[in-house]
Amino acid sequence: MYDVIILGSGPAGWTAAIYCGRANKNTLVVTGASLGGQTGEIAKLENYPGWAGSGMELILFMKKQAESFGAKSESASATDIKFNADGTYSIICDNGKTFDSKTVILATGASARRLEIDGAKELFGHGVSYCATCDGFFYSGRDVLVIGGGNTALNDALYLADIAKSVKIVYRKSEFFRAEAVLRDRVTAKENIECVYNTELKSVAQKTGSDKLIATTTDNKEIECDGIFVAIGHEANTDYLTESIKRDEIGRIASESLPSGMFVAGDVKSNIKMQVATAVGTGCSAAMDAIQYLNAKK
């Protein structure tokens, strides 16, 4: 029986693990499908104070710190949570294991929203990608599109501009309203990045007799490219929860809807900005709430 089980291995999850470990609570982190979640995919993390490395380097540093205080980890994803009659929880995982705990911290984060146009699903992994840092290497010296207009899209475009021959950012609005000014300036300064505003795609298909893609816009213009990188927002990872847990429009969890002994942190928590710094803050808060809950039960 664990004191605390933390679902998710992003900044929120590891922060919670550090605090719980330091409080001498028997702590397990169930990492999820990919260590570090979205943060682990950031090639250069610039906006987290005091850090000047990649996202994965930060995650590994946090993991080592949490483990130094006794936290353990399990490479698995939760598929279900059972509330037991004695007030404890059972976490059922996709590797066939079940773990019991007195408290649970939900820190499962969010995943990239899928591009819902003709051909996108069929070409996923064959020209359509949701991770520039994972797949950008394969497009060295080639022509790519980035779909989206927020910080993630511009960061992806800047990363790809150093690898690809050319990058076109396709965005449905007239300018990048949501992206930070420093990123907009960097995009403008890159000679091999072109911004295509007021444009949406309606389909993507393999070019006949070629490995190139043809992206067709809603006004029937065709853009030929070698790859498409999608960065159009995120949806919270909450499929393992019952419908009794209240969520917002993108699936994030409302704290007040959680049963006793369950807490939430990071990008899966409603009404917070989806940033590393806020994830760390909510991880700290959730851990302190869990510790206080456990101490009150003694």
pLDDT in tens, 256-268: 889 999 999 999 9
Of 265 and 244, which is predicted with more confidence?
265
On average, the pLDDT of the chain sits at: 95
Residue of 80, 100, 131, 284 marked active site: 131
Q: Which domains does the chain have, with CATH numbers?
A: 2-112+234-297 (3.50.50.60), 128-230 (3.50.50.60)
pLDDT of 221 higher than 90: yes
Residue of 80, 100, 135, 284 marked active site: 135
Q: Where are the beta strands (DSSP E) in the chain?
A: 2-7, 27-30, 72-74, 78-83, 89-93, 98-106, 110-112, 128-129, 143-147, 166-170, 193-196, 201-206, 213-217, 222-225, 227-230, 234-236, 262-264
pLDDT of 107 higher than 90: yes
Predicted confidence band of residue 248 (pLDDT cuts 50, 70, 90)? confident
Nearest to 262 by CA among 30, 147, 130, 104: 104
Q: How far apart are CA 186 and CA 167, in angstroms?
A: 13
Predicted confidence band of residue 91 (pLDDT cuts 50, 70, 90)? very high
Predicted confidence band of residue 97 (pLDDT cuts 50, 70, 90)? very high
What percent of the chain has pLDDT above 70? 100
Residue of 134, 211, 239, 248 marked active site: 134
248 is catalytic: no
131 is catalytic: yes
